[in-house]
Amino acid sequence: MKIFSHRFIFLFKKFLGLSIIILGFIAMLIPFVPGILLVFAGLYLFQKRDAFLS
Amino acid sequence: MATVIEITILGAALYILIRAGGALVRTMTAMARFLRISEYALSFILMALATSLPELFIGISSAARNAPLLSLGNIIGSNVLNVTLVLGAGVIAAGSLTIGKDAVRGEMGKMFALTFVPAILLFDGELSRGDGALLLLLFVAYLVHLFYSNRVSPPVDGSAGEFGIGEFMRSFLFFFVNIFLVIGSSWFIVYEAERLAAGFGVPLFFIGLFVISFGTTLPELVFNIRSSMSGYGEMSLGNSLGSVIFNISGILGIVAIIQPVHVDDPLRAVSGLVITSILIFLIQLVLLLKGDISRGYGIGLIAISLLFLGIEAFL
């Protein structure tokens, strides 16, 4: 049984990715070097091609 | 009236810079075909060397004037800008940057180690002559390895045959003429922008931070945008990564040999070097996992560069 729709998962990934990017930039402002890792992790999640799009 | 003349000179210098940047891409492809090495390796070696000349001159003159710290600051700043602003602009101009996964897989570990060595050597607050010699040795060894591991087979149709020694020498000469034009016009742009900004009452500190640091990375920036737009994204990556490696091991090595570098606040310098290492590693990791860097990453890289400039300006 499918609990979440493709659209929900797709939007959730985008939201999570964007949140991690913002968190990464805030961490870099501290300045906290590993903030860059968060920015890239967020970008990877945000940019990930989803089956929903194809 | 003076402002009109200055704006005209600025426009003319910008036009020369863009045209010479495009010509550089063409001469590089011709030379790569003759030497039978990949465009990535050639731009890594030759273009990075040529566009890092301003940093080299700053490095040698600051070491000779007993102020090697100036060169270290310049290297750290231009390295971060090279892998964020310069690479990001190329990615945005091209839409996406694609490079073979095998090429990245082979170089990833070596490049990370090479960018991390200066941070380890600087951890004790000093970069001695011995450290400088080690950096220079590693740099030369890496260039030799890159040259021989990136040899490409001539095309089966024999089209490489049309690139004789005469064609190569012509391209080589054009390369130097265009490099001269790119660096010269960049200098004019910085000079005129500085005068204009001062005329409009912009504080000197901001001129130094934004106009000068932007100006010294302008040749790399224009080359990356032109090569990416011409469909040679790997040249853009080779130029950015090559500039960083040349700065971090070649120039830093030469500076330390001339005059050992003593840092009062090693943590700040080391963190600047570590940021570059992490950025290069992450960019290569994305290329390895996805096979390309898309426009979103380009925007992210430019945002990181703006944040870096903001932190340096206000913190």
- A19: tokens are 């949140």
Q: What is the pLDDT of residues B39-89, one digit of tens each?
A: 788 888 887 777 777 778 778 877 887 778 777 887 888 888 888 988 998
CB of B175 within 8 Å of any CB in chain A? no
Other CB atoms closer than 10 Å to residue B302's CB: what's the count?
Answer: 18
Q: How far apart (Å, rounded) are the C-alpha atoms in residues B54 and B48?
A: 11
* Domain assignment of residue B133, yes or no: yes
Residue B124, SS3?
helix
pLDDT band of residue A46 (cuts 50, 70, 90) is confident
Burial class (CB in 10 A: 0-12, 13-18, 19+), B312: middle
CA–CA distances in Å: residue B263 to residues B71, B111, B269: 12, 25, 8
* Domain assignment of residue B15, yes or no: no
Structural domain count of chain B: 1
Of B278, B300, B307, the CB nearest to A43: B300
Domain assignments of chain A as residue spans, ordered by start: 17-47
On whether the CB atoms of residues B160 and B33 are closer than 8 A, the answer is: yes
Phi, psi of B32 (to 5 degrees): -60, -35
A54 pLDDT above the threshold of 60: no
- B280: tokens are 């290069």
Identify residue B198 by its one-letter amino acid code: A
Helices (H), B122-164: 129-149
Average the pLDDT over each of A23-27, B76-80, B152-156 and give the range with the smallest value: B152-156
Contacts of A28 in chain B (CB under 8 A): 304, 307, 311
Q: What is the pLDDT of residues B156-192, one digit of tens each?
A: 554 555 567 788 888 888 888 888 888 888 777 777 7
* Domain assignment of residue B49, yes or no: yes
On whether the CB atoms of residues B251 and B58 are closer than 8 A, the answer is: no
Q: Which domain holds residue B235?
A: 39-154+203-314
* Domain assignment of residue B29, yes or no: no
Residues 145-174 of B with CB under 8 A from A: none
**E strands of A1-54, at which residues?**
none
CB of B313 within 8 Å of any CB in chain A? no
Compute, in degrees rounded to 10, the torsion defined by CA atoms B220, B226, B227, B230: 180
CATH number of B222's domain: 1.20.1420.30
Of A31, A36, A43, the CB nearest to B296: A43
Q: Who wins on pLDDT, B298 or B78?
A: B298
Sign of dihedral through CA atoms B15, B56, B216, B241?
Answer: positive
